[in-house]
Amino acid sequence: MKNILKIFLLGIISFLIVSCREDDDKVTLDNMSAGTLAVDKTSVTLNETIADQSALTFTYSNPTFNPNVSISNTVEFAVAGTNFTPLASQPVSMDQKTFSLTHLQLNVILSTLNVAPNVSKPIEVRLKSSLNSTTAYYSNVLTVNITGYTPNPDLIYPKINVPGGYAGAAGYADWTPSNSPNLFSPSKDDKYRGFIYVTSPNSEYKFAINQDWPGNKGDDGTKTGKLKADGDNIKAAAAGTYYIKVDWAANTYSSVIANFGVIGDATPTGWGSDTDFVYNSTTKTYVINSIALAASGVFKFRANDDWAMKFQPENGDQTLVSGTAVKSFMSAEGTVTGDPAYKVSQAGNYKIELDLHNSGYYKLTVTKL
């Protein structure tokens, strides 16, 4: 019995000794000063024509701790009064002390915060200094009034070029990568798509990148939809509009003819037949110069007198405003929900224009004559 008691007391003493040692090993971290953040302007209007130039320059100091520790810094942005929910963020170096954001970077931040373009909005900014995933310290909060812009879709999405002997007749220049139709990658995933217009059978083309010939790709010689660097010219068998898809990384391509027209019970021929578009090489758009549209019906745009490829609203029927361009969506790209159609509120003769030069932003304009 005495031995058992001795063992029990020895265990308690050992536990107390270890606990004391663990307490001695713990370090108390003191936050000696908060981080600071300053900016060179209190308001800025963003400008896409100088998108890559600096719009705001920030200076900052890190919070200090005793003892010194490493931190990771992020500058956070939010609409004033939202308590930084939601927020957009920009990582910055612990050692940099100053950084600038371009017009484009700030415009993307506004878009992330769902701020409408062309309207001044107070944006709060703060420095977040993180010790780990659960512990962070914040600087003072700045407020900057920022006016964003509606971005040009041509500058948003990656693109490749489609130079060829057809391009001059389509309003571009023959065999000139810097002046040729483009295929865009709406998902920014090295997969490109878009349209070209060919006026003559057996017209040839290739795919280029960075608006120049180095790195160009053509058919690998098998005519089975495979590409290789500096490959053969690709031939368009017939005149017309072609819908082209290219997987740049996988070195594959496809090309199908896609001549569009308008159809629907709002058109003179109803659902029985299409009224075809005509390509305008000056505007590089597809146009129906005059067509009577009824206010009581609907209409859609389809290719090759078939339903495999249709231009439609994204979801739900859409009533168009005369002279106002809207984004249109192609069903074959999986961007359309249901089977919606377009309407006009007033019967009359209309000009219809489809701008298909950018697959990231197909544009439709209906103008009452």
State the pTM of this model. 0.74
How is the chain split into domains, by residue range? 31-147, 154-257, 260-368
Task: State how far the Cα of 219 lies from the Cα of 234, in Å rounded to an integer.
Answer: 6
CA quadruple 170, 198, 336, 192: dihedral sign:
negative
User: 66 or 142: whose pLDDT is higher?
Assistant: 142
Is the pLDDT reported for residue 9 higher than 50? no
Any idea which architecture 154-257 has in CATH?
Answer: Sandwich (2.60)
Mean pLDDT of all residues in the chain? Answer: 91
Any idea which architecture 260-368 has in CATH?
Answer: Sandwich (2.60)
Q: What is the pLDDT of residue 18?
A: 46
Say if 154-257 and 260-368 have the same CATH topology. Answer: yes
User: pLDDT of 265-312, one tens digit each?
Assistant: 999 999 999 999 999 999 999 999 999 999 999 999 999 999 999 999
User: pLDDT of 130-189, one tens digit each?
Assistant: 888 778 899 999 999 999 998 888 988 899 999 999 999 999 999 999 999 999 999 999
Mean pLDDT confidence for 232-257: 97
Is the pLDDT reported for residue 68 higher than 80? no
Q: Fold for 31-147, please state it.
A: Immunoglobulin-like (2.60.40)
Task: State how far the Cα of 299 lies from the Cα of 276, in Å rounded to an integer.
Answer: 13
Separation of first and last alpha carbons in the chain: 110
Edge to edge, what strands does the sheet with 362-368 contain? 275-276, 260-263, 300-303, 310-312, 326-330, 362-368, 348-355, 285-293, 278-280
Is the pLDDT reported for residue 251 higher than 90? yes
Structure tokens at 347: 């019967």
